[in-house]
Structure 1
Amino acid sequence: MREGDTLVLTCAVNGNPLPTEITWSRANDSLPERAQVEGEVLTIPMLSMLDNGTYSCQVANKHGRSSDQYVLVVYDPGSIVETQTSVPYAIVGGILALLVFLVICVLIVMVWCSIRQKGSYLTHEASGLDEHGEAREAFLNGGDGHKRKEEFFI
């Protein structure tokens, strides 16, 4: 419950014969001054954190007694609001993390596709091209069992 709320507890009474004695108490303390007891109903208006505790309902008839307990925890309304505002930040953070992941994936795919379209990477020295992209020389291996080099200038 939150501070300022009204607590209404009902002690469910049954038995044969019906219990005639119904008492409300609070463990290790007395009932708050604002508490109102009407038969099996306990009402505490304008709850405060001082009302925290274990409340008991005891009933009795000529055959015996029975009781039940209720643990009341009163929260400060400010602390509840604070925890609720952290949820949207977690959602926004998750969405941003997903977007960053997707951007990285798109960049990786773009680089991979770019490399595949260009073919293998050759340096100018390995390709036989000068710094202007023109052929300097070409070496061919002959297919007659021995290797020979032939130079072609273009």
Structure 2
Amino acid sequence: ADTRVGEEAPLAVDHAVIGGVVAVVVFAMLCLLIILGRYFARHKGTYFTHEAKGADDAADADTAIINAEGGQNNSEEKKEYFI
């Protein structure tokens, strides 16, 4: 009967160690999730598009292109060559 008690004691310690490791991992993941959530909430409005600024109040598409600031009216500045 002494060998049986000796075998059960390390088994109980193993369960405690595994439970502790799982608890630490879950706690670390929760902290990481909170930190990432706060970071993304703080940097939420930093996405900028490169759309034309003067085209918001235009009547149609042609007027929007004519009134656009910084549009590609000067098409000779950039040239693309496909090989």
- TM-score class normalised by the smaller sequence: 0.5 to 0.7
Q: Please name the residue that 1:151 is paired with.
A: 68
2:18 matched to which residue of 1?
A: 93
In 1, the alpha carbon distance for the partners of 2:46 and 2:34 equals: 18
TM-score using structure 2 length? 0.62
Output the CA distance in 2 between the equivalents of 1:84 and 1:114: 45
- Residue 28 of structure 2 is matched in structure 1 by 103
Matched, 1:127 2:52: no
Identity percentage of aligned residues? 8
Q: Which has the higher strand share?
A: 1
User: Structure 2 unaligned runs (5+)?
Assistant: 71-83
Runs of 4 or more consecutive aligned structure 1 residues displaced over 6 Å after TM superposition? none
5+ long unaligned stretches in structure 1: 1-74, 129-135
Q: Which has the higher contact order (CA 8 A, sep 6+)?
A: 1
* Distance (whole Å) between structure 1 residues aligned to residue 28 and residue 11 of structure 2: 26
Q: Work out the number of aligned pairs and report it.
A: 66
Residue 53 (structure 2) pairs with residue 138 (structure 1): yes
User: Which of the pair is proportionally richer in helix?
Assistant: 2
TM-score (normalised: structure 1): 0.37
